[in-house]
Amino acid sequence: MKTARPATGTGDASLTASLTSYVADFIVSTRASDIPRDVAHLGKRSILDGLGLALAGAASETGRIIRRYLDSLGIASASGSTVIGGDSLLPARFAAFANGVSIHADDYDDTQLAIAKDRVYVLGRDGTCVVLKKGPTLEILATNKVAEKTDATIALAGRELFLRGHEAVYCITEE
């Protein structure tokens, strides 16, 4: 797999490379056989979750409002992209916008990401934090769960990871 290209400038390349570049390179270079079975299962569930959210959001008032607004712009075209729940074909960026709004209309389980020099932290709203090794292969270093739901972004301070739950702030460190 390719490694992330460092951003221009001085300093440690692993610290200055963008998260977007790293994730894009990881995705492009990953083969299906590289993905552990349980991770592939979770990925499939996430895709189905997204499709279900898109359908539900398109049927919601939010979906109807965004489609009416985009229709009012007069940008429909015969060669455009599909907006879920509507009849119009729109330029891809507008269809992606409308579909993204629909997906988030009823989405209450967002995931938060934080990146460190050698790790990527993924926090789910259920209080589960998965620590991934930053590198050419997918490797789960640890899975931590707090006793409550979380709604905030992870905060990193040195070797400590802070999570804010509904009732408490948690500090997770290496043993």
CATH number at residue 132: 2.40.10.360
Q: Extract the tokens encoding 7.
A: 């951003």
Question: Phi and psi at residue 95, in whole multiples of 5°?
Answer: -65, -40
- Give the pLDDT score at 10: 45
pLDDT band at residue 2 using 50, 70 and 90 as cut-offs:
very low
Q: Which of 60, 88, 105 is the last residue of a domain?
A: 105
Whether 36 shows a pLDDT value over 80: the answer reads yes
Q: Give the global pTM.
A: 0.50
Question: Phi and psi at residue 111, in whole multiples of 5°?
Answer: -110, 140
- The torsion region of residue 128 among left (phi > 0), alpha (psi -120 to 50) and beta comes to beta
Residue 11 located in a structural domain: no
Residue 152 located in a structural domain: yes
- Give the pLDDT score at 58: 94
Tell me, yes or no, whether 121 and 175 share the same domain: yes
Q: What domain count does the chain have?
A: 2
pLDDT band at residue 11 using 50, 70 and 90 as cut-offs:
very low
Distance CA(60)–CA(103), nearest Å, equals: 10
Asked whether the beta carbons of 132 and 141 are under 8 A apart, the reply is yes
- Domain with 141 in it: 108-175
- Give the pLDDT score at 112: 66
Q: What is the mean pLDDT of the chain?
A: 81
User: Per this entry, what is the length of the chain?
Assistant: 175
Whether 105 shows a pLDDT value over 70: the answer reads yes
How far apart, in Å, are the Cα atoms of 31 and each of 4, 27, 28, 138?
Answer: 17, 8, 8, 11
Tell me, yes or no, whether 81 and 124 share the same domain: no
